[in-house]
Amino acid sequence: MKLTKRMFALVAIVSCFLIGSNAFAQGGNTASDTGTTTASVISSLSVTNNTDLQFGEAIQQDAAKTIPAASGATFTVNGEPSRFYNITVPADGTKYMVTDSGLGSLYNEQIQLSTFHFITSELNSTTQGQLSTSGIDTIKIGATRAAIFGNQVKGAYVGTYPVTIIYQ
């Protein structure tokens, strides 16, 4: 019995050494490296309205009128030199001019705007813009004013529309 206890103790001690030696062997089988992080900060985009989109005077029952982009409103874009950007203008049927003499809630107190379109000076493009090497571009915007109703309320009509730009 004493021999069995001694044998068991000896097996236990040898096992500890074997298990310990495997653990150390695995601990030596490691590697590491470092990664690099980078960032670039560029100029923010800005857009400034320089001239408004003006449809001029109209009389009751006038037909719809389109202002071509080349003759329309002018916006200046500033940002990171030579970068491309996307332009978003309103979808059809979403913008109106309303009369200053009413709330614009009646059909004859508002004039619908549609077919917003643009052209950029640097690329001469109708789909995107590119800033010049000095970080400037010009966008010209046109649109169509709906026909004037026979009972259209007389007065000045005013509306706003967004021009959104974002780097590509």
Domain definitions of the chain by residue range? 51-167
Tell me what pLDDT residue 105 has: 75
Q: What are 50-80's pLDDT values in tens digits?
A: 999 999 999 999 999 999 999 999 999 999 9
pLDDT at 75: 97
- As a residue count, the chain comes to 168
Q: Single out the residue of 165, 100, 107 nearest to residue 131, CA to CA.
A: 165
Residue from 96, 128, 127 nearest 114 by CA: 96
Query: Which candidate, 23, 111, 118, places its Cα nearest to that of 59?
Result: 111
The half-sphere exposure of 52 on its side-chain side, counting CA atoms within 13 A, is 6
CATH number of 51-167: 2.60.40
**pTM of the entire predicted model:** 0.76
Question: Nearest CA to 110 among 136, 146, 140, 141?
Answer: 146
Q: How far is CA 19 from the centre of its chain?
A: 60
CA dist 155 and 1 (Å) reads 117
At 103 the pLDDT is 66
**pLDDT score recorded for residue 123:** 86
Q: List residues bridging with 120 in a β-sheet.
A: 139
* pLDDT band (50, 70, 90) for residue 93: confident
